[in-house]
Amino acid sequence: MTPAEAVPVIRTRGLAKRFGELTAVEALDLTIRRGEVYGFLGPNGSGKSTTLRMLCGLLRPSRGEVEVLGHSLPGGAEGLKRRLGYMTQSFSLYRDLSVRENLAFLAAVHELPRRETRQRLSALLQRYRLEAFRDRLAGTLSGGERQRLALAATVLHRPDLLLLDEPTSAVDPQSRRDFWESLFELADAGTTVLVSTHYMDEAERCTRLAILDRGRLVADDSPQALMRDLPGRPLRVEVDRPRGARRLLEATPGVLGAAQIGSALRLLVASATAPETIEARLREAGFSAQVTPDAVNLEDVFVAATRRDREARP
């Protein structure tokens, strides 16, 4: 690691944001390094957007320290603008300008010289498969095409850091996959990406992942390490009446989560709870059941992390 790479791209200490009585983000310590594709996973209202907005300098923290690309915020926000790309959940381009006009307008905002603008626009239209739509009004594009245009617009000025707020919430699975390919391509070229998501499959692709719950960081590691260190074990329960069994098990000590998957149940139980204990509990209640261990997935990590935090902070 070179000395430049060792300096975090984002570093926060004790970052907090209050809106009146509501604490949206609490005591957040984050360290994000260059070239990472760092995920923010959390339920609605867990503080993902609020954190991203503080990191871009759009929102003033109530407390704590923030350093982004060597600039302390909020003071250094002006110097950051050229080095940041921020993409929000909603489409924020001009619907009544064409694809090309939108990009040209942004190039002017970023003060790209004319020659460079021509080259950059041509490269972006090609890379993001927008050539065929260059003269179409942005408002007439499909969800996936709009998203490609939004990403092209976000990276137009070659930012060092991308902050992406649920960028794939309005697109189909194939477009999501293409989008993630683009993110890895950008990360390979040295861009740092911070991306919030609701999707477990996307979270699993990140090099590192923070799980937020009610404004707090409840897990922070690589997805593989989080799954390896899961404080619990998943079980598969084949049972005759899954809905009734689920109600019973949800009220059973040691059960952290229960979900119906087709005609079976998938449970997350505390590490000390054996499959035999669950099977015995179901038999006692008159169910016919077979309980076997299942492979860990990221949803288990999410359930365990948020559940533990809720028990600690009712």
Ligand X SMILES: Nc1ncnc2c1ncn2[C@@H]1O[C@H](COP(=O)(O)OP(=O)(O)OP(=O)(O)O)[C@@H](O)[C@H]1O
**Which positions lie near ligand X, rule CB under 6 A?**
19, 22, 24, 42, 44-50
Name the residue nearer to ligand X (CB basis): 166 or 178: 166
Name the residue nearer to ligand X (CB basis): 46 or 175: 46
Name the residue nearer to ligand X (CB basis): 50 or 147: 50
Which residues, including other chains, have CB under 8 Å from residue 275's CB and lie 6 or more apart? 235, 291, 292, 293
Nearest distance, CB of residue 138 and ligand X, angstroms = 23
Name the residue nearer to ligand X (CB basis): 46 or 102: 46
In sign, the C-alpha dihedral spanning 97, 101, 107, 109 is: negative
Backbone angles phi, psi at 94, to 5 degrees: -85, 115
HSE value, Cβ hemisphere, 13 Å, CA-based, for 204: 12
Counts for the chain of helices (H) and strands (E), in that order: 12, 14
Name the residue nearer to ligand X (CB basis): 16 or 183: 16
In sign, the C-alpha dihedral spanning 82, 86, 87, 90 is: negative
The rounded distance, in Å, linking the Cα atoms of 185 and 175 is 15
Nearest distance, CB of residue 53 and ligand X, angstroms = 8
Long-range contacts of 90-93 (CB under 8 A, 24+ apart): 91/138, 91/146, 91/150, 92/150, 93/138, 93/146, 93/149, 93/150, 93/153
Name the residue nearer to ligand X (CB basis): 22 or 295: 22
| Structure token digits, residue 102 | 């939108």
Q: How many CB atoms lie within 10 A of CB 250?
A: 12
Nearest distance, CB of residue 168 and ligand X, angstroms = 13
